[in-house]
Amino acid sequence: MVYYVKRGEIPDSRHTFTDRVRLVREELFGEESFDGLYSLLYHKQEPTAVTSVRREPQKPMSTKGDTSYVHRHLRTYMTQREGDMVSGRRYTLYNDRVRLSVVKPLVQMEYYFRSAMSEQLFFVHSGTGILFSPFGKLEFGRGDYVLVPKGTTYHMKVSDDASFFLLESRDRINVPQRYMNSYGQLKEGTPYYTRDIRVPEFSYDGLESCRETYVDFWDHFLIEEREGTLFDLEGYDGYLYPFAINVDRMAPVVGKLHLPPPVHETFSGKSFMVGTFLPRKFDFHPRAIPISYYHSNIDTDEVIFYSSGNFMSRRGISEGSITLHVRGLIHGPQPGAVEDSIGKEGTDEVAVMVEAYDPLKLADDSLGLDDPDYMGSWIRKPNSR
Protein backbone atom coordinates (compact mmCIF):
# COMPACT_ATOMS: atom_id res chain seq x y z
CA MET A 1 0.00 0.00 0.00
CA VAL A 2 2.95 2.33 0.29
CA TYR A 3 5.20 0.79 -2.31
CA TYR A 4 5.14 -0.75 -5.76
CA VAL A 5 4.73 -4.53 -5.94
CA LYS A 6 4.95 -6.73 -9.02
CA ARG A 7 4.36 -10.48 -8.95
CA GLY A 8 4.01 -13.20 -11.60
CA GLU A 9 3.86 -12.66 -15.35
CA ILE A 10 2.40 -9.44 -16.71
CA PRO A 11 2.52 -7.71 -20.13
CA ASP A 12 5.37 -5.25 -20.77
CA SER A 13 2.94 -2.33 -20.92
CA ARG A 14 -0.47 -1.86 -19.34
CA HIS A 15 -3.50 -2.40 -21.58
CA THR A 16 -1.53 -4.53 -24.07
CA PHE A 17 -1.31 -8.25 -24.79
CA THR A 18 1.66 -10.55 -24.92
CA ASP A 19 0.06 -13.59 -26.60
CA ARG A 20 -2.91 -13.00 -28.87
CA VAL A 21 -3.91 -16.67 -28.74
CA ARG A 22 -3.93 -16.85 -24.95
CA LEU A 23 -5.21 -13.47 -23.85
CA VAL A 24 -5.11 -12.60 -20.18
CA ARG A 25 -7.93 -10.47 -18.75
CA GLU A 26 -6.82 -7.22 -17.21
CA GLU A 27 -8.75 -5.87 -14.20
CA LEU A 28 -8.07 -2.44 -12.73
CA PHE A 29 -8.57 -2.77 -8.98
CA GLY A 30 -8.62 0.85 -7.91
CA GLU A 31 -9.79 3.30 -5.27
CA GLU A 32 -11.49 6.68 -5.78
CA SER A 33 -12.73 5.89 -9.25
CA PHE A 34 -9.59 5.98 -11.42
CA ASP A 35 -7.65 8.49 -9.30
CA GLY A 36 -6.57 6.61 -6.17
CA LEU A 37 -4.26 3.73 -5.39
CA TYR A 38 -4.65 0.78 -7.74
CA SER A 39 -3.26 -2.47 -8.96
CA LEU A 40 -3.64 -4.11 -12.36
CA LEU A 41 -4.61 -7.77 -12.11
CA TYR A 42 -4.14 -10.24 -14.99
CA HIS A 43 -6.70 -13.05 -14.80
CA LYS A 44 -6.63 -16.25 -16.82
CA GLN A 45 -10.44 -16.09 -17.05
CA GLU A 46 -12.97 -13.29 -17.28
CA PRO A 47 -13.57 -12.01 -13.72
CA THR A 48 -17.16 -11.12 -14.63
CA ALA A 49 -18.46 -14.66 -15.25
CA VAL A 50 -21.16 -14.55 -12.54
CA THR A 51 -23.85 -17.13 -13.19
CA SER A 52 -26.28 -16.20 -10.41
CA VAL A 53 -26.82 -13.78 -7.54
CA ARG A 54 -29.18 -13.87 -4.59
CA ARG A 55 -29.75 -11.54 -1.67
CA GLU A 56 -29.68 -12.28 2.04
CA PRO A 57 -30.58 -9.62 4.65
CA GLN A 58 -28.35 -8.93 7.65
CA LYS A 59 -29.64 -8.16 11.11
CA PRO A 60 -29.41 -4.46 12.01
CA MET A 61 -26.64 -3.30 14.36
CA SER A 62 -29.16 -2.19 16.92
CA THR A 63 -32.90 -2.35 17.39
CA LYS A 64 -33.33 -2.14 21.15
CA GLY A 65 -29.87 -0.97 22.11
CA ASP A 66 -28.80 0.93 25.19
CA THR A 67 -28.37 4.45 23.82
CA SER A 68 -26.85 6.03 26.96
CA TYR A 69 -23.79 8.04 26.03
CA VAL A 70 -21.42 6.99 28.82
CA HIS A 71 -17.95 5.53 29.35
CA ARG A 72 -18.15 1.77 28.92
CA HIS A 73 -16.18 -1.39 29.54
CA LEU A 74 -17.16 -4.23 27.21
CA ARG A 75 -15.99 -7.58 28.56
CA THR A 76 -15.53 -9.32 25.23
CA TYR A 77 -13.36 -11.97 26.90
CA MET A 78 -16.67 -13.42 28.18
CA THR A 79 -17.86 -14.36 24.70
CA GLN A 80 -17.90 -17.90 23.36
CA ARG A 81 -16.58 -18.94 19.98
CA GLU A 82 -19.24 -18.71 17.33
CA GLY A 83 -19.70 -18.74 13.56
CA ASP A 84 -16.85 -18.23 11.13
CA MET A 85 -14.68 -15.23 10.25
CA VAL A 86 -17.73 -13.39 8.88
CA SER A 87 -20.78 -14.75 10.69
CA GLY A 88 -18.80 -14.79 13.97
CA ARG A 89 -18.22 -11.03 14.02
CA ARG A 90 -19.63 -9.81 17.32
CA TYR A 91 -20.20 -6.10 17.00
CA THR A 92 -19.37 -3.77 19.86
CA LEU A 93 -19.50 -0.11 18.79
CA TYR A 94 -20.42 1.53 15.53
CA ASN A 95 -21.40 4.66 13.66
CA ASP A 96 -22.18 5.34 10.01
CA ARG A 97 -18.49 5.22 9.00
CA VAL A 98 -16.89 2.70 11.35
CA ARG A 99 -17.82 -0.68 12.82
CA LEU A 100 -15.82 -2.41 15.54
CA SER A 101 -16.19 -6.07 16.38
CA VAL A 102 -14.42 -9.01 17.95
CA VAL A 103 -14.22 -12.29 16.08
CA LYS A 104 -13.63 -15.66 17.74
CA PRO A 105 -14.53 -18.13 15.02
CA LEU A 106 -15.70 -21.63 15.86
CA VAL A 107 -15.62 -22.98 12.30
CA GLN A 108 -13.82 -22.21 9.03
CA MET A 109 -15.37 -20.14 6.24
CA GLU A 110 -17.02 -22.22 3.52
CA TYR A 111 -17.30 -19.38 1.01
CA TYR A 112 -15.31 -16.44 -0.30
CA PHE A 113 -16.02 -12.97 1.03
CA ARG A 114 -15.71 -9.41 -0.23
CA SER A 115 -16.77 -6.16 1.42
CA ALA A 116 -18.32 -3.68 -0.96
CA MET A 117 -18.53 -1.14 1.85
CA SER A 118 -15.44 -1.12 3.98
CA GLU A 119 -11.74 -1.51 4.38
CA GLN A 120 -11.04 -4.21 6.95
CA LEU A 121 -8.29 -4.00 9.51
CA PHE A 122 -7.84 -7.15 11.59
CA PHE A 123 -5.76 -7.07 14.73
CA VAL A 124 -4.75 -10.64 15.60
CA HIS A 125 -5.30 -11.04 19.35
CA SER A 126 -4.45 -14.77 19.36
CA GLY A 127 -3.75 -17.67 17.02
CA THR A 128 -2.56 -17.84 13.44
CA GLY A 129 -4.05 -18.01 9.97
CA ILE A 130 -3.76 -17.42 6.27
CA LEU A 131 -5.54 -14.79 4.21
CA PHE A 132 -6.03 -15.95 0.63
CA SER A 133 -6.84 -13.33 -1.98
CA PRO A 134 -6.19 -13.02 -5.72
CA PHE A 135 -2.86 -11.45 -4.65
CA GLY A 136 -1.80 -14.76 -3.07
CA LYS A 137 -1.52 -16.00 0.51
CA LEU A 138 -0.63 -13.87 3.49
CA GLU A 139 0.25 -15.72 6.68
CA PHE A 140 -0.42 -13.97 9.98
CA GLY A 141 -0.13 -14.50 13.73
CA ARG A 142 -0.54 -12.89 17.12
CA GLY A 143 0.21 -9.18 17.14
CA ASP A 144 -0.28 -8.70 13.42
CA TYR A 145 -2.40 -6.05 11.81
CA VAL A 146 -3.83 -7.41 8.56
CA LEU A 147 -5.23 -4.74 6.26
CA VAL A 148 -7.61 -5.89 3.52
CA PRO A 149 -8.57 -3.18 1.01
CA LYS A 150 -12.23 -2.68 0.26
CA GLY A 151 -13.32 -4.85 -2.67
CA THR A 152 -10.74 -7.59 -2.11
CA THR A 153 -12.18 -11.08 -2.49
CA TYR A 154 -10.75 -13.26 0.24
CA HIS A 155 -10.90 -16.44 2.24
CA MET A 156 -9.37 -16.89 5.67
CA LYS A 157 -8.20 -20.10 7.23
CA VAL A 158 -7.52 -19.75 10.95
CA SER A 159 -6.25 -21.82 13.87
CA ASP A 160 -8.65 -23.08 16.55
CA ASP A 161 -7.42 -20.46 19.04
CA ALA A 162 -7.64 -17.49 16.65
CA SER A 163 -9.34 -14.29 17.79
CA PHE A 164 -9.41 -10.79 16.37
CA PHE A 165 -10.34 -7.18 16.96
CA LEU A 166 -11.75 -5.92 13.67
CA LEU A 167 -12.19 -2.38 12.36
CA GLU A 168 -14.39 -1.99 9.29
CA SER A 169 -14.25 1.49 7.81
CA ARG A 170 -16.12 3.19 4.97
CA ASP A 171 -13.11 5.50 4.67
CA ARG A 172 -9.65 4.49 3.52
CA ILE A 173 -7.33 3.05 6.14
CA ASN A 174 -4.05 4.75 5.34
CA VAL A 175 -0.50 4.93 6.52
CA PRO A 176 -0.52 8.40 8.16
CA GLN A 177 0.45 11.04 5.62
CA ARG A 178 2.79 12.72 8.10
CA TYR A 179 4.85 9.51 8.20
CA MET A 180 5.67 9.82 4.50
CA ASN A 181 7.96 12.16 2.64
CA SER A 182 6.85 13.94 -0.52
CA TYR A 183 8.12 10.96 -2.56
CA GLY A 184 5.82 8.52 -0.75
CA GLN A 185 8.56 6.82 1.28
CA LEU A 186 8.17 6.21 5.01
CA LYS A 187 10.33 8.75 6.80
CA GLU A 188 12.97 8.24 9.44
CA GLY A 189 11.56 8.54 12.98
CA THR A 190 8.24 6.80 12.26
CA PRO A 191 7.11 3.79 14.33
CA TYR A 192 7.51 1.42 11.39
CA TYR A 193 9.32 1.27 8.06
CA THR A 194 8.60 -0.17 4.62
CA ARG A 195 10.55 -3.37 5.21
CA ASP A 196 8.30 -4.16 8.21
CA ILE A 197 5.30 -4.45 5.88
CA ARG A 198 4.61 -7.99 4.59
CA VAL A 199 2.86 -8.54 1.28
CA PRO A 200 1.21 -11.81 0.16
CA GLU A 201 3.29 -14.65 -1.23
CA PHE A 202 2.13 -15.09 -4.81
CA SER A 203 0.70 -18.60 -4.42
CA TYR A 204 -2.73 -20.18 -3.93
CA ASP A 205 -1.40 -23.35 -2.32
CA GLY A 206 -3.86 -24.56 0.32
CA LEU A 207 -6.79 -22.46 -0.92
CA GLU A 208 -10.08 -24.31 -0.74
CA SER A 209 -12.46 -24.18 -3.65
CA CYS A 210 -15.73 -22.53 -2.63
CA ARG A 211 -18.89 -22.25 -4.68
CA GLU A 212 -20.18 -18.90 -3.40
CA THR A 213 -18.84 -15.41 -2.74
CA TYR A 214 -20.62 -13.33 -0.09
CA VAL A 215 -20.48 -9.64 -0.96
CA ASP A 216 -21.12 -7.48 2.12
CA PHE A 217 -23.23 -4.34 1.64
CA TRP A 218 -23.58 -3.93 5.45
CA ASP A 219 -27.38 -4.29 5.49
CA HIS A 220 -27.43 -7.32 3.19
CA PHE A 221 -25.22 -9.82 1.41
CA LEU A 222 -25.28 -10.37 -2.32
CA ILE A 223 -24.23 -13.95 -2.88
CA GLU A 224 -22.70 -14.67 -6.24
CA GLU A 225 -21.84 -17.91 -7.97
CA ARG A 226 -19.49 -17.89 -10.91
CA GLU A 227 -17.87 -19.95 -13.57
CA GLY A 228 -14.22 -20.41 -12.73
CA THR A 229 -12.50 -18.46 -9.98
CA LEU A 230 -11.10 -15.04 -9.17
CA PHE A 231 -8.03 -16.73 -7.69
CA ASP A 232 -6.48 -17.23 -11.11
CA LEU A 233 -3.96 -14.44 -11.61
CA GLU A 234 -0.96 -14.85 -13.87
CA GLY A 235 0.41 -11.73 -12.24
CA TYR A 236 -0.31 -8.23 -10.97
CA ASP A 237 1.42 -4.98 -10.22
CA GLY A 238 0.57 -1.78 -8.39
CA TYR A 239 0.14 -0.22 -4.99
CA LEU A 240 -3.12 -1.74 -3.73
CA TYR A 241 -3.03 -5.16 -2.06
CA PRO A 242 -3.53 -6.71 1.40
CA PHE A 243 -0.61 -6.48 3.76
CA ALA A 244 0.39 -7.27 7.34
CA ILE A 245 2.61 -5.67 9.94
CA ASN A 246 3.43 -6.99 13.40
CA VAL A 247 3.53 -4.90 16.57
CA ASP A 248 6.90 -6.48 17.47
CA ARG A 249 8.39 -4.76 14.43
CA MET A 250 7.17 -1.34 15.53
CA ALA A 251 9.33 1.09 17.46
CA PRO A 252 7.39 3.09 20.04
CA VAL A 253 8.14 6.77 20.40
CA VAL A 254 9.14 7.66 23.99
CA GLY A 255 10.17 10.92 25.64
CA LYS A 256 11.28 12.79 28.74
CA LEU A 257 7.68 13.67 29.59
CA HIS A 258 4.38 11.91 28.92
CA LEU A 259 3.58 11.88 25.21
CA PRO A 260 -0.01 12.00 23.93
CA PRO A 261 -1.65 9.17 21.94
CA PRO A 262 -1.00 10.65 18.45
CA VAL A 263 2.67 9.60 18.79
CA HIS A 264 1.38 6.02 18.84
CA GLU A 265 -0.59 6.44 15.60
CA THR A 266 -0.45 3.43 13.29
CA PHE A 267 -3.14 4.08 10.65
CA SER A 268 -5.37 7.00 9.83
CA GLY A 269 -8.60 7.70 8.01
CA LYS A 270 -11.05 10.54 7.47
CA SER A 271 -13.35 9.36 10.28
CA PHE A 272 -10.88 7.73 12.72
CA MET A 273 -7.31 7.09 13.70
CA VAL A 274 -5.76 3.85 14.92
CA GLY A 275 -2.93 3.85 17.44
CA THR A 276 -0.95 1.07 19.09
CA PHE A 277 0.27 1.13 22.68
CA LEU A 278 3.45 -0.91 22.59
CA PRO A 279 5.80 -2.27 25.25
CA ARG A 280 8.04 0.70 26.01
CA LYS A 281 10.18 2.56 28.51
CA PHE A 282 8.38 5.28 30.40
CA ASP A 283 9.26 8.97 30.49
CA PHE A 284 12.72 9.68 31.88
CA HIS A 285 12.27 13.02 33.70
CA PRO A 286 13.22 12.31 37.37
CA ARG A 287 9.82 13.53 38.54
CA ALA A 288 7.79 12.26 35.59
CA ILE A 289 4.25 10.98 36.10
CA PRO A 290 4.24 8.23 33.49
CA ILE A 291 0.52 7.56 33.49
CA SER A 292 -1.76 9.71 31.36
CA TYR A 293 -3.32 12.85 32.82
CA TYR A 294 -7.08 13.44 32.88
CA HIS A 295 -8.34 14.46 29.50
CA SER A 296 -11.39 15.63 27.62
CA ASN A 297 -11.18 14.33 24.10
CA ILE A 298 -13.84 16.78 23.03
CA ASP A 299 -13.96 15.80 19.37
CA THR A 300 -13.52 12.03 19.50
CA ASP A 301 -14.81 8.85 21.06
CA GLU A 302 -11.85 6.80 22.23
CA VAL A 303 -11.91 3.02 22.09
CA ILE A 304 -9.14 0.79 23.43
CA PHE A 305 -8.85 -2.94 22.85
CA TYR A 306 -6.54 -4.44 25.48
CA SER A 307 -4.58 -7.32 23.98
CA SER A 308 -1.80 -8.25 26.38
CA GLY A 309 0.29 -7.06 29.30
CA ASN A 310 -0.42 -5.11 32.43
CA PHE A 311 -2.77 -2.18 31.82
CA MET A 312 -1.63 0.28 34.43
CA SER A 313 -4.23 2.99 33.97
CA ARG A 314 -7.33 0.80 34.17
CA ARG A 315 -8.41 -1.31 37.10
CA GLY A 316 -10.62 -4.33 36.32
CA ILE A 317 -9.47 -4.52 32.73
CA SER A 318 -8.38 -7.86 31.28
CA GLU A 319 -6.93 -9.10 28.03
CA GLY A 320 -9.78 -8.87 25.54
CA SER A 321 -11.48 -5.94 27.29
CA ILE A 322 -12.68 -2.95 25.29
CA THR A 323 -13.20 0.47 26.84
CA LEU A 324 -15.10 3.37 25.35
CA HIS A 325 -14.37 6.87 26.63
CA VAL A 326 -16.81 9.29 25.07
CA ARG A 327 -16.48 12.93 24.14
CA GLY A 328 -17.98 15.41 26.55
CA LEU A 329 -17.09 13.41 29.66
CA ILE A 330 -13.66 13.75 31.27
CA HIS A 331 -11.67 10.57 31.84
CA GLY A 332 -8.24 9.51 33.02
CA PRO A 333 -6.51 7.40 35.63
CA GLN A 334 -8.65 5.68 38.23
CA PRO A 335 -8.13 6.47 41.93
CA GLY A 336 -4.66 5.46 43.11
CA ALA A 337 -3.28 4.90 39.62
CA VAL A 338 -1.28 8.16 39.47
CA GLU A 339 0.40 7.37 42.79
CA ASP A 340 1.11 3.79 41.71
CA SER A 341 2.64 4.87 38.42
CA ILE A 342 5.38 7.07 39.89
CA GLY A 343 8.76 5.39 39.66
CA LYS A 344 7.62 2.71 37.18
CA GLU A 345 10.16 2.31 34.40
CA GLY A 346 8.14 0.75 31.61
CA THR A 347 5.17 -1.25 30.45
CA ASP A 348 4.68 -4.52 28.60
CA GLU A 349 1.19 -3.61 27.37
CA VAL A 350 -0.08 -4.10 23.84
CA ALA A 351 -3.35 -2.31 23.14
CA VAL A 352 -5.08 -0.96 20.06
CA MET A 353 -6.73 2.44 20.21
CA VAL A 354 -9.37 3.67 17.77
CA GLU A 355 -10.41 7.30 17.96
CA ALA A 356 -13.70 7.76 16.11
CA TYR A 357 -14.59 11.28 15.03
CA ASP A 358 -18.37 10.59 14.90
CA PRO A 359 -20.15 9.39 18.07
CA LEU A 360 -20.22 5.64 18.58
CA LYS A 361 -23.26 3.63 19.59
CA LEU A 362 -23.50 0.32 21.40
CA ALA A 363 -24.41 -2.64 19.16
CA ASP A 364 -27.03 -5.12 20.35
CA ASP A 365 -24.36 -7.85 20.18
CA SER A 366 -22.65 -6.27 23.20
CA LEU A 367 -25.59 -5.57 25.49
CA GLY A 368 -24.64 -8.46 27.78
CA LEU A 369 -20.95 -7.56 27.80
CA ASP A 370 -21.31 -4.04 29.18
CA ASP A 371 -19.86 -3.69 32.70
CA PRO A 372 -22.55 -1.78 34.65
CA ASP A 373 -20.04 -0.52 37.24
CA TYR A 374 -17.54 1.07 34.85
CA MET A 375 -18.93 4.62 34.82
CA GLY A 376 -18.55 4.66 38.63
CA SER A 377 -15.01 3.25 38.60
CA TRP A 378 -13.44 6.70 39.09
CA ILE A 379 -15.08 7.16 42.48
CA ARG A 380 -12.48 6.98 45.26
CA LYS A 381 -13.51 4.18 47.63
CA PRO A 382 -13.04 4.73 51.43
CA ASN A 383 -9.91 2.58 51.66
CA SER A 384 -8.22 3.61 48.42
CA ARG A 385 -5.44 6.16 48.48
Q: Which residues bind Fe ion (CB under 5 A)?
A: 302
Residue number of the CB atom closest to Fe ion? 302
Nearer to Fe ion, 301 or 302 (CB): 302
The CB-of-264 to Fe ion minimum distance in angstroms stands at 12
| Nearer to Fe ion (CB atom), residue 84 or residue 355 | 355
CB within 8 A of 239, min separation 6: which ones?
A: 1, 2, 3, 4, 5, 37, 38, 39
Minimum CB distance to Fe ion smaller for 146 or for 317 = 317
Our CB check for Fe ion shows the closer of 262 and 336 to be 262
Question: Nearest distance from residue 323's CB to Fe ion, in Å?
Answer: 9
Burial bucket for residue 316 (CB in 10 Å: 0-12, 13-18, 19+) = middle
Shortest Cβ distance from residue 304 to Fe ion (Å)? 8
Long-range contacts of 93-96 (CB under 8 A, 24+ apart): 93/301, 93/303, 93/322, 93/324, 93/356, 93/360, 93/361, 93/362, 93/363, 93/366, 94/61, 94/62, 94/360, 94/361, 94/363, 95/271, 95/356, 95/358, 95/359, 95/360, 95/361, 96/170, 96/358
Is 235 or 332 the residue whose CB approaches Fe ion more closely? 332
Minimal distance, residue 87 CB to Fe ion, in Å? 33
Q: Which of helix, strand or coil describes residue 340?
A: helix
CB of 331 to Fe ion, least distance (A): 6
CB of 324 to Fe ion, least distance (A): 10
> Looking at beta carbons only, is 153 or 323 nearer to Fe ion?
323
Strand ranges (DSSP E) for 187-250? 212-216, 220-226, 233-238, 243-246
